[in-house]
């Protein structure tokens, strides 16, 4: 056989071998006693409260998200969000856009 064909077949064989190995690994994990016990406890409704289905309480406890929500509510009360005055849509101010004289400058010299 030619060398490029042999390399191509070897590449496919490695890919198939890795795929089968991963499939066997997941099959063994699925059939393990620990996994079966976890599935059984969840289907019976005995799962712990640390497992969040919707994640809402963890988002409420996060100080970074709370600060962002507070900032967004302050921005929305201070900004009308209209385009009629040629102003911002509410996004330019928080991301450094807007009508500031400094900031980004293109290569052509126009800001």
Q: Which two three-digit tokens encode residue 65? A: 């998200």
**Any idea what DSSP says for residue 63?**
H
Binned at pLDDT 50, 70 and 90, residue 9 comes out as very high
- Cα separation, 84 vs 12, in Å, equals 60
Dist CA 66 CA 71 (whole Å): 9
C-alpha angle 55/59/65, rounded to 5°?
A: 150
In the predicted model, what is the mean pLDDT of residues 45-71? 69
What is the mean pLDDT of the segment spanning 41-59? 63
Q: What is the per-residue pLDDT across 92-101, written as a single tens digit (0 to 9) for each?
A: 555 555 555 5
pLDDT at residue 61, as a whole number: 79
Say what the pLDDT of residue 81 is. 53
């Amino acid at each position: 056989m030619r060398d490029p064909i042999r390399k191509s077949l070897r590449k496919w064989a490695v890919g198939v071998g890795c795929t089968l190995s991963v499939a066997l690994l997941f099959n063994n994990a699925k059939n393990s006693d620990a996994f079966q016990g976890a599935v059984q406890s969840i289907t019976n409704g005995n799962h712990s409260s640390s497992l969040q289905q919707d994640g809402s309480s963890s988002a409420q406890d996060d100080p970074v998200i709370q600060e962002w929500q507070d900032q967004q509510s302050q921005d929305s009360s201070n900004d009308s969000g209209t385009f009629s005055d040629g102003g911002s849509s509410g996004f330019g101010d928080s991301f450094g856009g807007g009508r500031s004289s400094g900031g980004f400058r293109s290569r052509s010299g126009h800001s």
